[in-house]
Amino acid sequence: MGVTSHMKQSCISDLEYISKIKVNTQTVLKRAQHIQGQKIPTKQWQAAWLLKAVTCIDLTTLAGDDTPSNIQRLCLKAIQPVEYKLLKKMDMHDKEVTTAAVCVYPSRVADAAKLLEAAKSTLPVASVATGFPAGQTPLETRLQEVRMAVADGATEIDIVINRTLALTGQWEAMFDEIRQFRMVCGNAHMKTILAVGELGTFTNVYKASMVAMMAGSDFIKTSTGKEAINATYSVAIVMARAIRNYYLFTGYKVGFKPAGGIRTAQECLVWLNLIKEELGNDWLCPHLFRLGASSLLTDIERQLYHHVTGQYAAYDELPMA
C-alpha cells in the first residue's frame, strides 16, 4: 500500500481531540462478557468457521532458538495447514487453503522468503521489527531493522509502539515515530502492535489505536505474545470501536490482529464472532483480520479431524503447527 492517503488527512487538531477521549471501562467489560456468552456455531458451520480462521492465521515463530530448519517447517505448514485427506473429506481440497502469512524475527526473514520462493508460494512473510518485543532501542536502530526486513523479503512488518511515549501521553511524538516506520516500510503492509497489556487503561488503548491508524497503519495488533497480558476480548472491543470510528471519520478500513496466547479452536471461534459483531462481515477476511498465533493451528486441525472422523487425533498424529 505504501504511504497511505488516510495518513495524510491526520493533523495536530486530531491529536488534540484524542487527548480528550475517555473510555467507559464497565461498558467495555459488560460487552466483552456478553460476547463470550454468545452461542458459537456447531457441526459443519463450525468446521467452515475454523477453516476461515486458518486462512486468517499469521503462523508465527518468535523464539530465541529459531533456526533455518524450523522456519522451513513453519513455511511448509503454512502452505498446507490442514491435511489434504481432511480437506478432501470436506470437499475443500481444491480451494488452496493456506494460512494468511508466516511471521518471524527479522533475522529469519531471508530463510522464510527463500523457502517460500523455492516452493513457488506467494504467501507473505511478516517480520516483527522496531526492537520487538519491548521497543526499547534507539529510533535509528528500529528504523534500520524495518529496512533490513523489507530488503530480505518481508512484505508485512509488525512494528511495536514506544510504550514510554504512550504512558507519558506524548501522542504527537508517537505519531511521528509510527509515521517514520510507515515511510521505511515502503510498499510493505504495516501492522502496529500496541502491547495493550502494558498500556494501563482502556483509554490509552483507544488513544494508541487512533494514533497508530492516523499515522498510516494497515492493521492494529493487540500484543507481542511476550507481555504478561496479551489479547483479551475486552481490549479487542476497545480497538474494534476505534477501527469502526476511524472508518466513519475517514472511510478507510484498518485491519485488526489479536495476537498472544490464542491457543484453542474454541477461543478462535469467539474471536471470529467478536469481529462479526463489532466490525461486520467485511472484516472477516485475511485482508482485514489476522490471528497472530504460534500454537493455535494444532487444536484447529484436531477439531477438524474430529468433525471429519468423529474421533480426536493424538497430537503426534498431526504434523507440527
Residues taking part in catalysis:
221, 257
**CB proximity list for 32: less than 8 A, separation 6 or greater:** 232, 233, 234, 236, 237
Q: Compute the distance between CA of residue 4 and CA of residue 279 in angstroms, rounded to an integer.
A: 21
Q: Compute the distance between CA of residue 188 and CA of residue 200 in angstroms, rounded to an integer.
A: 30
Instruction: Give me the least distance between CB of 53 and ligand G3H, in Å please.
Output: 14
- Cβ-based nearer residue to ligand G3H, 10 or 224: 224
- Cβ-based nearer residue to ligand G3H, 124 or 171: 124
- Cβ-based nearer residue to ligand G3H, 10 or 299: 299
- Cβ-based nearer residue to ligand G3H, 225 or 255: 225
Residue 103 in the binding site for ligand G3H (CB under 6 A)? yes
What would the DSSP string read from start to end of 83-135?
A: -HHHHHHTT-TTS----SEEEE-GGGHHHHHHHHHHTT--PPEEEEESSTTTT
SS3 label, residue 222: coil
106, 135, 260, 286: which one binds ligand G3H (CB under 6 A): 260
Residue nearest ligand G3H by beta-carbon distance: 225
Q: Compute the distance between CA of residue 136 and CA of residue 142 in angstroms, rounded to an integer.
A: 9
Residue 293 in the binding site for ligand G3H (CB under 6 A)? yes
Residue 153 in the binding site for ligand G3H (CB under 6 A)? no
Instruction: Give me the least distance between CB of 292 and ligand G3H, in Å please.
Output: 3
Residue 298 in the binding site for ligand G3H (CB under 6 A)? no
Instruction: Give me the least distance between CB of 143 and ligand G3H, in Å please.
Output: 20
Residue 292 in the binding site for ligand G3H (CB under 6 A)? yes
> How many residues comprise the chain?
321
Total residues interacting with ligand G3H, rule: CB under 6 A = 13
Cβ atoms < 10 Å from Cβ of 300: 25
Instruction: Give me the least distance between CB of 193 and ligand G3H, in Å please.
Output: 7
224, 234, 298, 303: which one binds ligand G3H (CB under 6 A): 224
- Which residues make up the interface to ligand G3H (CB under 6 A)? 60, 62, 103, 224-225, 259-262, 292-295
